[in-house]
Amino acid sequence: MKFSVARDSLLKTLGHVQAVVERRNSIAILGNVRLAAQDGKLQLTGTDNDITMQGAVDALVDKEGVTTVSALKFFDIVRKLPEGSTLEASMAKDGSRLNLNAGHAKFVLACLSADTFPENTSMAPVVTFDMTGEQLKKVLAKAQFAASVDDTRQYLNGVYMHVVKDNKGADKLRFVATDGHRLARIELTLPQGAEHMPAVILPRKTIQELKAIAEAAPTVAVAVSERKVQFKTASMVLTSKVIDGTFPDYEKVIPYDNKKLMSVSRPELLQAVDRVAVLSHEKSRSVRFALAPQQLTITANNPDQENAVEELAVEYSEDKLDVGFNAKYVAEIGSVIDGGDVNFLFKDSNSPVLLKDPKDPGSLYVLMPMRI
């Protein structure tokens, strides 16, 4: 194998590919990136056995071949080369080493045969459809933050993607995530071709890498089967297993009958919560919302008998109400809302609270109160 490739184009693609590779792995081949030089392209593949990322860059291929090298070491070498440089690579006759040259810099990387590199990209899709990269990244970001990080409940460690009918009978593509403390539900008009899509749970890591490749992609082709999903852009292909499990009936926890409406400036609320939370309890990060007509008072205190108070003007005309929240959760929901205002819908001090974005009727959030 012998090829040369522009450092800058290689770095971008290699950055996506190496991101799925686990840094510590008992299986040596899974720490490597697969390199295949053929037909004027250098094809790169990385995998952790659950998620596989593939990409290709233009290359001058003098001799076709395939091998694997350490993903982290190869990425670090390419990343530290000067911008605009060209990387030349040639494999030793016995296939055990890959020689890299760039200007006056020379490197020799150990190779492992590609024969044992796992092939996890084949799938028999049930449905295929297209989404814009911007749209896909946006809905995933709006839902992902609410996914659980508790490994004891794997079925909550991702975003539930499924097809539903809304209350008007219209087909929607819906994304839901929850950790039991908060819930995010985002829905879009159903893309053409997605009508019979099986419901799947996308893993957190898959979502993170998908957002990265979708960011600059005009279109993402989506393929979904019962066990795998695949996302294709013009330059990258991400194939992932889905989480095996049943997502809970989230509709039961959405408090549609909450009637006490508070509308507040989103930037002002987030800034006030951020300031007051400085003196909240280090573990609980709890803040108290005291509502009165046209006024919200946010308070916090800690075991050192320190406290903070801030008042905000709001639109609220119901009875007085005190509710405790985790400041971090309020901030995370506020950060994914697009509009200048955010609507809180309350029932009482102890019931789940419904949050809505006036600018995005397809999104809603549920936040559990805290006892403080």
pLDDT digits (tens, 9 = 90+) for 200-232: 999 999 999 999 999 889 999 999 999 999 999
The sign of the torsion formed by the CA atoms of 70, 73, 75, 81 equals negative
Give the distance from CA 168 to its chain's centroid: 30
Q: What is the structure's pLDDT at 151?
A: 78
CATH 3.40.50.1820 assigned to domain 127-252? The reply is no
Q: 3-state DSSP call for residue 137?
A: helix
Q: What six digits make up the tokens of 113?
A: 């045969």
Confidence grade of residue 134 (pLDDT, cut at 50, 70, 90)? very high
Give the CA angle between residues 213, 52, 242 to the nearest 5°: 95
279-321 pLDDT tens trace: 999 888 999 999 999 999 999 999 999 999 999 999 999 999 9
Q: Round the average pLDDT of the chain to a whole number and report it.
A: 95
Compute CA 255 distance to the chain's CA centroid, rounded to the nearest angstrom: 26
pLDDT digits (tens, 9 = 90+) for 248-286: 999 999 999 999 999 999 999 999 999 999 999 988 899
Topology alike, domains 2-116 and 127-252: yes
How many C-beta atoms lie closer than 10 Å to residue 239's C-beta? 22
Percent of the chain past pLDDT 70, that is, above it, reads: 100
CATH 3.10.150.10 assigned to domain 254-367? The reply is: yes
Mean pLDDT for 6-24 is 95
Model confidence pLDDT, tens digit, residues 22-44: 988 788 999 999 999 999 999 99
Domain coordinates of the chain in residue numbers? 2-116, 127-252, 254-367
333-342 confidence digits (pLDDT tens): 999 999 899 9
Topology, domain 2-116: DNA Polymerase III; Chain A, domain 2 (3.10.150)
- The whole-number average pLDDT for the span 51-64 is 97
Q: Is residue 372 scored above 80 in pLDDT?
A: no
- Does 17 score more than 90 pLDDT? yes
